[in-house]
Chains A and B, each alone.
Chain A
Amino acid sequence: MSEVELNTPTLSQLEARAGQARPAFGEHAHVLCDNLVRIYKTEGVEVVALQGLDLLVDRGELIAVVGASGSGKSTLLNVLSGLDVPTAGVARVAGTDLLAMTAKDRLRYRREVVGFVWQQTARNLLPYLTAAENVRLPMRLAGQGSCTARAVRSGELLDLLGVGHRAGSRPGEMSGGEQQRVAIAVALANSPQVVLADEPTGELDSENSEQVFAALRRANRELGVTTVIVTHDATVSEQVDRTVGIRDGRTSSETLRRTSEGGDVIAEEYAVLDRVGRLQLPRDFINALDMERRVRLELERDHIGVWPDKPRPEEPEEPK
């Protein structure tokens, strides 16, 4: 028997290998999107908003999803919030499969699993209710707690987010930042596991933005709630642990923020490698090297080299 033959697995070996339990993609992730596709179709016109998006968010993580207008980030958020159903792929939040939910599941999901904050301050709150009443509304809708318990909880949340003093005010009487912080309190009212925020600072000045992010961070840290913020503002990466970039309906890059030994905040940008090995190169990299159509890849010992498809001026002789 030759060596080759010995190394070749038998059918039974292959079978056993196939039957072996292997960790699934993102098995332990709190938010999981795998090859997510969402297509809007009307009268033969198709708009592919998400084209195979992958995303993993761990429990208790605070991440931002950034992308240009039309990149699909709002669609992603609608899918995650259970307001929209993806066309294909896998979407799971806190163990709930978003593609296989009944209407009843969906309602329970919105009541118990997620909370969200939208960009328009006016859309987050009912203008004719006070801040406290707005916070109590989701609890009442879900039928949670007694009247007193709800009042206590709303008070706690508003205090936590620094707007306790505005409990009796209506949205019209508050600043945009205060409104958004109340909106975060509303989103947290039913103790969700995930909070999704769609451009929460889109209409705010930098000072108010800072306060809103601080509130989101505090909620994330103190309540341990996983938070996903969608924004087109690339500078948000300074406010969150991880920033996921979306381009053309796919996750393209990730920026990790860490604090150096010297106490400086260092943000490092990574490209996202999907499960089948696809990679999006940053557009400015491609432009800088004038890359077109195809590139040459070379596997080195600890990295892969990507070369433009044209002869290099000093081509080293390959060792023979």
Chain B
Amino acid sequence: MNPLLPLRVHQGAAAVLALLALSASLLVAGLPRRFEAAYDRAAHALLAEDPAEATDLTVALSPAVLGEHITGEEGFRTQDRRWRALVPPSLTPILDARRGDDGRFAAKTFGTPVAAFLGPEKRRPAEYVNLGWVSGAERRVRYVEGSPPGPPATVASVPGHSELLDVSRFDIALPRAAAEKMDIPLGATLVLGHSHPVLARVTGLFEPIAPGDRFWRRNRDMAEVTTRPVAGGDSEELTITALTGEASLTELTGEGRDLVYVWSIAVDPSAVTARDAASVVEGVADYRRVLGVEAAKFGGGSFAEVLDTSLGRVLTGFLARLATARALMFLVLGGLVAVAGGVIALAVQLLTERMRDALALARARGASLGQVVAAGAGTAALAVVPAVLAGYGLSFLLPAMSGPGTPIVYAGPLVLAVATVGFAAARVALAHRTPLPVRRDDVAGRRRSPRRTVLELLVVVLALAGAYLLRSRGLTTGVEARGADPFLMLVPVMLTVAAALVTLRCYPYPLRLFARLAARARGAVPFVGLALAARAGQVGALPVLILLPALAVSVYGAVAGGTLEGAQRLAAWQATGAGARVERESGLPPEVIEKIRRAPGVRAVVPVDKGLAQLDLGGRNVTVVAVDLDAYRRLVAGSPLKVPSPPPDDAAAQSTPVRTTPAQGTPAQAASDQSIPALVSPDLAHLSTFEIGWRVRMRITKRGVVTGGLPGLTTATSNLVVVPYDASARAGTRPYTSTLLVRGSGSGGDGLDGDRLRAAEGGLPDVRVVTVEGSRRKITATPLAETIKDGFRIVTIALAVYALLTVVIALVAGAADRARALSYLRALGLSDRRAAGLTVLEVVPMIALTACAGLALGLALPSALGPGVDLGVYAGDLAVRAYDLDLTTPVLLAAGLAAVAVAGAFLHTLTGRRPPGSVLRSGE
């Protein structure tokens, strides 16, 4: 039999099937690529947060560990080949071979102090001038004064320094800015190192040709002076690495000097993909181990840390996020595939049902089962295969679907096509196994077989057991990098199927109850409609199996998306501390505070002082925050921030001027200063009274404990002391304000414009203005967060469309039976309107009950998945413990879907009406 003919005859059903196959193929082939592209973008974004040179594989060894003294660039090159040979194969694809050798090899001393300055003696800060050679440096500098460093020389004696005999002298060049900052003029000679001193003569001053390029980013220590405060004092120490010539390498030995040889193996971060991130992390660990072993071989058997790269750390963090994203996407894609598969199965059912009579005739006329199956499956294949190919091709053409392919992208459409054609073949084969064209409906009874009951029970038990395992073990079973446990990933699908089976089993019961009630009512329509619905049987099964996962996944998506949004909002507030925060380390002057208070959109401000203080004498450092907690609480009313109650304050309670309040408490405290009530973090809770040195020395009395710190004001959750804002004033000095919390016009105090606040503060240097909106933008820009929301959105829309199609196809598939039933009833006097009502009533219970079950399942899924899906990585690393059960969106979703489905049913009845005679006469 030529399958083209049935295809032409049943072109409507075939077109529906083709359209569904096309859309499913497009989604299956396109969405994973879209997600993979987003994962890759996220990986690159994360790697880009680190400077490129930090992700390079940097091998750093001292000559002692290397066991060899390198005297020239060729020596570095020889070693470089050795290091490269050891690079594990998993890392070779990401090595950047395009970059030249410039800056790849270096020999640098570190922590080399300037012991003396030959020339006029004057007071100098602590200075360090390291000696460094970097390959290709001479091409990266422009000498503005003097000349490039020459070869080293030995100086027999140094005038004024009798201890310096036969010392090496290196020629060095310094960046001009550094020379000026460190006050080292051209031609100066320095004595470097207190032991084994050497001389360094400044022969040239240079400027980097391209200061921002990779070479200089990698060798920033040679371009800029590093300033570091000296511990325990207010002075600073300055460090620069001076440039010397290649010839100096012969004299630059590890003896008496801390010297390190550096090889950088450039990595191309854009070559790292989400798929090989795990193997890259492993490769880095392998390489570190191999290099350690190699170094131990040279260097006297001691293991040394010789590999420096941020690649492993960054990618490990990325993999944690990726695991959650993958789990979520697997969930939504799984739901989508299940639903798409179900709708396609329904369409296949429609097509094969349409072809049934023709195939039955052919079978009776002598077609073998093979011929009939070939005709049926061939028709389905003719509809499906080109559509699947078209969807597959379209997914490559659409820019929104572009991205790297995964096995599922290639296998998905193939499986889709094969499964669809296979299902069609199986259906046809089962329907025409025996060639009897007449079904004896009068003696066909329906009773579920015990086998099926056992199978259903098995699925339910498996699903529940899986949910239990999932809750107790988590989705990824501990190994983030290794991916997820497929059994546990299937649990949501199994739960959905189990819920669908239970719904299918149980849904006639409430219907029968309603039908019994309706039987007593006057109208015949409700009774007949409900009776029809309760007897729907097989026709109703597939739509339930489709609608349920569609709703469950949509609702889960809405819940997860809502939770994510809530967590991101909370994280943004916690990062800001109020609607906005204006900070300046050195204090905000009162007139600036006044300007900000008057700035447009500002409703209220609360001044805060914070800083580090010493606990007791010589004790540990604590973070002190001085803030009026009552005012703060009013300031953030309506926001998700929780502000602790202020400590009971005797002084404030008496409302007497602070300064004149007589000291209270123990005789020991009855000093000139009074005790200040404070909240302390739990680790300080054992102290009842203590002193801190902050602005002035003040005596603190613990009046309460603050757990969890004050997010937004300080990141400290331990060693924290919260005192009233006027603590400084009480202790006898003036109040300071280092931070200003601002309330805007929004419901929670947000809605502030950062630019206006910045304009209001009048351009003071080092003022930081942070708004909630700014923090939120930063958090939502977290790589992958958008991908997840995007994925949920697309899938929810697709599922809604599929759900609608399901109802329509189910109605069309049952149209002949319904038309016959309705025609009989209309012949008995049923009006058109009541007939439409009957059809709607027939599908409404199924849709309503499925909607309820889907809603319940979708709401239960978050708790069933429990800790398996950690949304915290997308909410500024805020722990997301419980899902927000905001019912509005899910209920709206379920109701909307149900309403659309019912509307579809109603429309179908209005358009698909035929005069009763046409059906009754047809003799079907």
**A contact set with B: CB distance below 8 Å:** 40, 42-43, 45, 47, 74, 78, 81-84, 103, 106-107, 110-111, 116, 118, 120, 122-129, 137-138, 140-142, 186, 190, 203
Contacts and interface: CB of A to CB of B under 8 A. Distances in A.
A186 B361 CA distance: 11
Interface in B331-384: 357-358, 361-362, 364-369, 371
A40 to B, nearest CB: 5
B5 A110 contact: no
Contact of A107 (B366, B437, B438, B445): B366
17 contacts: A43-B447, A45-B445, A81-B364, A82-B435, A83-B436, A84-B436, A107-B366, A110-B364, A110-B365, A111-B366, A122-B923, A126-B361, A128-B5, A128-B8, A138-B366, A141-B1, A141-B365
The 4 closest A-B pairs by CB, nearest first: A111-B366, A43-B445, A141-B367, A138-B365
A84 B9 CA distance: 30
Contacts of B8: 128
B361 A123 contact: yes
A81 B366 CA distance: 11
A42 B445 contact: yes
Nearest to A108: B366
Contacts of A74: 438
A83 B365 contact: no
Contacts of A124: 361
B440 interface: yes
Interface in B434-489: 434-438, 440, 443-445, 447
B366 A78 contact: no
Nearest to A186: B365
Contacts of A106: 435
Contacts of B368: 107, 141
A141 B362 contact: yes
Contacts of B447: 43
A82 B8 CA distance: 31
Given A43-B447, A123-B357, A128-B9, A110 B435 contact: yes
Q: Which residue, of B362, B364, B366, has the highest number of chain A Cβ atoms within 10 A?
A: B366
A47 B1 CA distance: 37
Contact of B362 (A40, A43, A103, A137): A137
B435 A120 contact: no
Contact of B364 (A116, A125, A203): A116
A172 to B, nearest CB: 12
Contacts of B440: 40
Contacts of A45: 443, 445
B443 A47 contact: yes
Nearest to B372: A141
A46 to B, nearest CB: 9
Interface residues of B, number: 27
Interface string B563-580: 000000000000000000
Contacts of A107: 366, 368
A120 B438 CA distance: 12
Contacts, number: 65
Contacts of A42: 443-445
A81 B9 CA distance: 29
A279 B443 CA distance: 30
A247 to B, nearest CB: 20
A75 to B, nearest CB: 9
B298 to A, nearest CB: 79
Given A83-B436, A137-B365, A186-B365, 15 more contacts: A42-B443, A45-B445, A78-B438, A81-B364, A83-B434, A83-B435, A116-B364, A122-B923, A123-B437, A125-B361, A126-B358, A126-B362, A128-B8, A129-B5, A137-B362
A170 B22 CA distance: 34
Contacts of A83: 364, 434-437
Contacts of B435: 82-83, 106, 110
Q: Which residue, of A47, A128, A141, A190, has the highest number of chain B Cβ atoms within 10 A?
A: A141
Contact of B923 (A116, A137, A141, A203): A203
Contacts of A129: 5
Interface string B101-133: 000000000000000000000000000000000
A111 B444 CA distance: 29
Q: Which residue, of B365, B369, B440, B923, has the highest number of chain A Cβ atoms within 10 A?
A: B365
Contacts of B365: 110, 137-138, 141, 186
B629 to A, nearest CB: 76
B777 to A, nearest CB: 62
B366 A190 contact: yes
A138 B363 CA distance: 10
B4 to A, nearest CB: 11
Contacts of A186: 365
Contacts of B367: 141
A137 B361 CA distance: 10
B309 to A, nearest CB: 69
B443 A40 contact: yes
Given A43-B447, A137-B365, A141-B365, A120 B923 contact: yes
Contacts of A120: 923
B3 to A, nearest CB: 13
Given A83-B364, A141-B362, A78 B436 contact: yes
Nearest to B365: A138
Q: Which residue, of B1, B361, B440, B445, has the highest number of chain A Cβ atoms within 10 A?
A: B361
Interface string B415-449: 00000000000000000001111101001110100
B5 to A, nearest CB: 6
A120 B331 CA distance: 51
B366 A141 contact: yes
Interface in B887-924: 922-923
A43 B443 CA distance: 9
